[in-house]
Amino acid sequence: MANNISFQNGYADIKGLCMYYQIYGEGDLPLVLIHGGGSTIQTTFGNIIPHLSKRRKIIAMELQAHGRTSDRHSDLSFKQDADDVTALLDYLQINKADFLGFSNGGQTLIELALHRSSLINKMIIASAFYKKEAVPEEFWNGFENVHIEMMPKALRDGFFRVNDNEEAFQNSFDKDVQRMKNFKGWTDEQIKSIHLPTLIINATHDVGSVEHAVEIYRTIPNAELVILPGGHGEYLGAIESLKNNDWRQTYTVDIVEEFLNK
């Protein structure tokens, strides 16, 4: 796990948030990691950071109401998360970076590409979708009757490992659920307007369908596509998708580095 290797960390005052971040490794062009809903830096990226940070600087943060980062008196939105990521990079004096966004983090990355494309060198959208039709209707209906006991134990444990506050955990859960209930997505025209070098990664048994991953690949003009076996985030080592935190798909590191380095 990434917490077994050395890193810098801190808090930044970001538009009323006290945002927690970590920096690993060295390099001129950092890779910024954006976690998924209900997650922390470690639950999504703790397994892959030690590999990626061997050859480049890694910057990861915890978004509003997640992990060690505080909350605002406002709903979550992907646009606000994108603005917060931008503000954090301004605080860290980073004006260009590569990005990897997983799940809801991938949707935050879409917003970033639409509104602050000058900040992005290359981007990796991992296990994210841009329209409601990408997932079955049952997925959306499930948010009407969801409760916190349904949260994967690995994510619950991961939250309390860094923030032992039951009220903060419930708040994070409730706000993530509300954001998905409000999900509108983006139009094909918006996605077509993204001309950045983009890698789409999806799993065979992901939340969004393989067919939708192909659609994203065909809609973004300068995109590449990789379909990997397994479930949501398994290829990245996201702990909610692993058995006993046993991550075997370390070849994902090579896929990411090949795309970023060519």
List pLDDT tens digits, range 73-106: 999 999 999 999 999 999 999 999 999 999 999 9
pLDDT at 145: 86
If phi over 0 gives left and psi between -120 and 50 gives alpha, with beta otherwise, what is residue 111?
A: alpha
Q: Does residue 59 register a pLDDT over 80?
A: yes
pLDDT at 1: 47
Sheet holding 223-231, edge to edge: 8-14, 17-24, 58-61, 31-34, 97-102, 120-126, 198-205, 223-231
Q: Residue 17 — very low, low, confident or very high, per pLDDT cuts 50/70/90?
A: very high
Q: Where are the domains of the chain?
A: 2-261
Q: Are 80 and 110 in contact (CB under 8 A)?
A: no
106-137 pLDDT, tens per residue? 999 999 999 999 999 999 999 999 999 999 98
- Work out the average pLDDT over 225-251: 97
- Work out the average pLDDT over 8-36: 97
CA gap 237, 48 in Å, rounded: 6
CA gap 209, 221 in Å, rounded: 20
CA gap 20, 84 in Å, rounded: 11
Beta bridge partners of 203: 228
- Work out the average pLDDT over 225-232: 98
Average pLDDT, the chain: 96
Q: Residue 187 — very low, low, confident or very high, per pLDDT cuts 50/70/90?
A: very high
- Work out the average pLDDT over 4-13: 93
pLDDT at 144: 87
By DSSP bridging, strand 97-102 and strand 120-126 are parallel
CATH of domain 2-261: 3.40.50.1820
- Work out the average pLDDT over 32-36: 98
- Using alpha carbons only, give the angle 111, 114, 117 rounded to the nearest 5 degrees: 110
